[in-house]
Structure 1
Amino acid sequence: MNYLDQYSGPLGLRKAKHLLRRTSFNYSKETLQQFATLTPEAAFNQLITNQNNLWSEPYDPRPETAPDGNWTSSTEHPNTFDGHFRKRRIITSWWWYNGMNQNSLIQKMTFFLHTSFTVSKDDGAGFSTNFYDHLLLLEKYALGNLKTLSKKITFDNSMLDFLDNTQNNANNPNENYAREFLELFTILKAEQIGNGDYTNYTELDVQQAAKVFSGIKIQTDRSIIDAETNIPKGRIDVNRHDQDNKTFSHAFDNTTIIGSDTEIGIVQELSDFVEMVFSKEATAISFIRKLYRYFVKSEWNDTVEENVIKPLATELKDGDYEILPILKKLLTSNHFYDLDDTNADDNIIGSIIKSPLQLINEVISFFKMKIPDPATEVEDFYQFFNFVHNIYLAAGGMLLWSPDSVAGYPAHYQSPDFDRHWFSSNTVLARYKLIESLLTGRNKIRFNNNIRVELNIVDFIDNNITEPLLARELITELASFLYPEDISDERVTYFAQNLLEGFPDYYWTDAWIQYKSSGDDTIVKTRLHALIIQMINAPEFQLM
């Protein structure tokens, strides 16, 4: 069987859970049941369908007397607005709210591109409007062309600021962006084989790349609009561009890029440089490995390298770096669903530790928690997002859109632990206290303040579980949706202890019947809280 042959049968619940977790930030019982009836191709087509944002545009309610409102679409110069640090977090809340409410591969891919072309919103991303434009650019190319994005992002105002290329001039070169473009964003470093020679490129190539990028500057007033994306971009200062020819090393076949003294010619230099980098097989392989680690598994053997990674890399390169066909081939393949062999030791389903973002989004969406409307319940929304962003995600090791390194989050690149970085002694408290915080509506990680959102677990069980008065059936049904795999009878018995308190099964049945007849949910609420805390904090729920 070809590893990348398309699986054509109906997904069923197990495969639907796997696909939805890997490709979306929204995870609901209804969507799972729908996806279970679809083929992988039909499900994939649904995931790439454009979905409208519930929250159309970021809104700043401050200052109270005259709110800045929808400042990201204002024609005013960005420096006329204050509080850009806070505004960047508002933009982050806008992205999070919309992503959490969509079954969309676009949102997952936007974040993947963030892990590949990293900018930190809280550490040098520039004006909040620049960061907003940066997100729009990543979203624009989430299912588009990686090579084109690599050209466009060089003119991105946030990137120009973050990696100092706006300071890169012919007479005073700054190699920061050039180095990261090669080392982290595209072809990658590979093994060092000599002084200044890293297999895929050399120090000479960094120097020449910096010359290609010289003179590309921030346009602070957002007045230059890219004709293809309709997104503001940076400018070219011809006089600060190195206009000489740029000759690269043996790693790039000693290619010479002709220098220019015109804006059109400088854009052509950039295009020629990107085309040169992307002509190399190592660039295609680096992207496929990143994609595989993000969607499939953090580690793989030589068989997968030969039968999945390299064929996809060849197809990516031959297809001029269009990402959508590659995503479709990978996410509908027998290999993605672990149907290409009979080896029980290399399971893909349930093999990745969830990021803190995936964890909270799944809990919120699966349990149908009502998040305050950012348009009509502004104060409550920002109070809750403050808990999500500043408390839970930060304590969980994930400063959203602000990794502490230009390399990104360690879970995506740092061997040998990779996604195991999400689960450590430093982050476990936030993960384990999350569900308790949501059940009580109080911040149980720090401060114990009101977070403005509370999960009514009794209502959820009453309205969404087929047999809520039968303890073992209730647990089995919950587990069938919450966990990658079905659980054993022994695990059901273990979880049932939280409902039964050591009594026979009829204890829970009687308690549920009493609640339904009297309306008093005191007992069932206490028992369900104990159960849900145990089930969400179980190892099975930490995996996807």
Structure 2
Amino acid sequence: MASTFLNNKHLLWRAGFGIGIEQIENIKDQKTQDILKELFAEQKFSPIDYDTQDPESVEYTDPKATAEQKRAIQKINQKQNVELNLNFLEKMINSKDQLREKMAFFWHGHFATRVNNPKFNRQLINVLRQNALGSFRTLLFEVSRSPAMLNFLNNQQNKKDHPNENFAREVMELFTMGRGHYTEKDIREAARAFTGWGYDKEGNFKERTNLHDTGTKTFLGKTGNFNGDDILNIILEQKATARFITTKIFTFFVNEKPDEKIINTLSENFYQSDYDLTKLMSDIFSGSWFYDKKNIGNRIKSPTELMVGIMRILPMDIQNPENITVYQKLLGQMLLFPPNVAGWPNGKSWIDSSTLMLRMQVPQIWSGLRPLELSPREDDDMDMGMKSREALTKSFKSMNITIDWNRVDKALQNKKAEDYLILNSQSVDIKTVSSFSDKSTKINVINLMSTPEYQLM
């Protein structure tokens, strides 16, 4: 039977981004039930924005735009996307609404889009955050109508007589039912139903009726003059949808090896609740099986979880926050820029020889104990104006971080640092860590964060 302290740490890592420095005081003695209550307590929603001014109304895709105008607009877009990225990260680090932000992070990988338009990105991130714990039905409709998704999956080009199947296919394969629950004919018929779905220049959803195929369609065994809404509703009638979403949530929040028996119960309840996400997450985090030994410490932190976890427990002032995106790029997870429509792969895919070294060095680099030796992945295609190693080196200024070690010292006074930093502190060889430490909290904390055990949650 795991201790309450271990259960609490496990819960804070899975339902959020680890222990915040202000939680160190009470987490050991808190009841897990009380932490759950805090996680599910509704906070006032605050949207994410950027401060950079929008460019004048000319679009860089406008055929009349000059090369200079296009460059200027691209520069502004890049700046706004970096701001959105950092503001999303900031919510993960500082928000009391940890579960909302963790769920939004999950949905960001599930409903993966990659567009350069910051307005569209902002709108989608806020849809994901606002509906993160609401109804999956509402979330699916909102995302499907978002300009980022319609743009990314070419539905703007989906017109009667020339249907584009991209969006219809991914909605079924990646966002709702998963492969094996529909046919190629279902994709073709769904694509016809989505003809005319698009957006205007401002990013408002538009049903362009003149481009919509009004003929009869047969989809998943039903026949009618269907439009996009009808298709989404029919998809939600399928129990396969509840099961697919439940399985994906289980593998992200609990264990990469799905437990069929537990998933059967969870997905049936999810379906009966009409896709109530708060209920599903509550069923997961309050299930005694969630705290089984096999589910604790079995996940490799994604780069975002790793960095946010460090920033939550080490209060830091960052002079050049835009350089955090360099670390995102080097570690392989740039927010707003998933590798493709399937989102980021998880688990062991985060670790290769170059990323493992850097992951273990981040605490030392951020504490000013060692420089960053840059070597971005060769196969990386995140543009963000940093295509080559030279471009990265040139664009990278030190983040200029000041960590409030006095506060860390105070928080960990009379406590074993490893108990708060390492999920299962029994697993780490404290003797070896201590032999590299002086007596200071700073060096001890940095050394603990540089262990392979710190990579797990």
TM-score by length of 2: 0.85
| In structure 2, distance between residues paired with 1:134 and 1:109 | 14
- 8 Å CA contact 1:55–1:94 kept in 2: the answer is no
* 1:274 correspondence with 2:232: yes
Match among 147, 152, 155 for residue 157 of structure 1: 147
State the match for 1:112 in structure 2: 106
1:462-473 correspondence runs (5 A) = 462-467=409-414
Which one-letter code corresponds to 1:385 in the other structure? E
* 1:370 correspondence with 2:307: no
List per-residue Cα deviations over 1:498-517 (Å, max 9, x = no partner).
135xxxxxxx4xxxxxxxxx
Which one-letter code corresponds to 1:49 in the other structure? A
Structure 2 residue ranges without an equivalent (≥5): 61-71, 375-392
Shift of 1:179: 0.7
State the match for 2:186 in structure 1: 205
Shift of 1:164: 0.5
State the match for 1:409 in structure 2: 344
Match among 451, 461, 464 for residue 399 of structure 2: 451
- 8 Å CA contact 2:21–2:315 kept in 1: the answer is no
Structure 1 pair 336–280 and aligned structure 2 pair: CA distance change class (3 A):
same
Shift of 1:217: 1.1
| In structure 1, distance between residues paired with 2:144 and 2:343 | 18
| In structure 2, distance between residues paired with 1:350 and 1:329 | 20
Q: Determine which structure has more spread, i.e. the larger CA radius of gyration.
A: 1
SS in 2 for 1:487: helix
| In structure 2, distance between residues paired with 1:441 and 1:534 | 11
- 8 Å CA contact 1:84–1:128 kept in 2: the answer is yes
* 1:147 correspondence with 2:137: yes
Match among 329, 342, 345 for residue 394 of structure 1: 329
- 8 Å CA contact 1:26–1:99 kept in 2: the answer is no
State the match for 1:95 in structure 2: 88
List per-residue Cα deviations over 1:287-332 (Å, max 9, x = no partner).
01110111111114xxx211x1011110111111111101101111
State the match for 2:198 in structure 1: 217
Match among 259, 264, 289 for residue 335 of structure 1: 289
Shift of 1:126: 4.8
Match among 235, 243, 249 for residue 291 of structure 1: 249
SS in 2 for 1:85: helix
Structure 1 residue ranges without an equivalent (≥5): 1-6, 61-67, 190-198, 223-232, 260-268, 339-343, 372-379, 412-418, 468-473, 501-507, 509-523
Structure 1 stretch displaced more, 144-153 or 435-444: 435-444
* 1:491 correspondence with 2:429: yes
State the match for 2:4 in structure 1: 12
Match among 321, 331, 349 for residue 296 of structure 2: 349
SS in 2 for 1:410: coil
- 8 Å CA contact 2:314–2:408 kept in 1: the answer is no
| In structure 1, distance between residues paired with 2:45 and 2:142 | 24
Pairwise CA RMSD of aligned residues?
2.6
Which one-letter code corresponds to 2:399 in the other structure? I
State the match for 1:178 in structure 2: 168
Shift of 1:33: 4.3
- 8 Å CA contact 2:154–2:166 kept in 1: the answer is yes
Structure 1 pair 497–442 and aligned structure 2 pair: CA distance change class (3 A):
closer
Structure 1 stretch displaced more, 354-363 or 32-41: 32-41
Structure 1 pair 148–91 and aligned structure 2 pair: CA distance change class (3 A):
same
| In structure 2, distance between residues paired with 1:280 and 1:399 | 34
| In structure 1, distance between residues paired with 2:372 and 2:92 | 25
Which one-letter code corresponds to 2:23 in the other structure? T
Which one-letter code corresponds to 1:360 in the other structure? M
Q: How high is the sequence identity, in percent, across the aligned residues?
A: 25
Shift of 1:55: 9.2
Shift of 1:483: 0.9
| In structure 2, distance between residues paired with 1:153 and 1:463 | 45
SS in 2 for 1:335: helix
List per-residue Cα deviations over 1:334-378 (Å, max 9, x = no partner).
01111xxxxx6xx1111101011111111111122234xxxxxxx
| In structure 1, distance between residues paired with 2:90 and 2:338 | 20
Shift of 1:278: 1.6
State the match for 1:536 in structure 2: 449
Shift of 1:455: 2.8
Shift of 1:148: 2.0
Which one-letter code corresponds to 1:213 in the other structure? F
* 1:255 correspondence with 2:168: no
| In structure 2, distance between residues paired with 1:426 and 1:499 | 25
| In structure 2, distance between residues paired with 1:311 and 1:435 | 41
Structure 1 pair 56–151 and aligned structure 2 pair: CA distance change class (3 A):
closer
Structure 1 pair 278–56 and aligned structure 2 pair: CA distance change class (3 A):
closer
Which one-letter code corresponds to 2:322 in the other structure? F
Structure 1 pair 434–149 and aligned structure 2 pair: CA distance change class (3 A):
same
- 8 Å CA contact 2:24–2:412 kept in 1: the answer is no
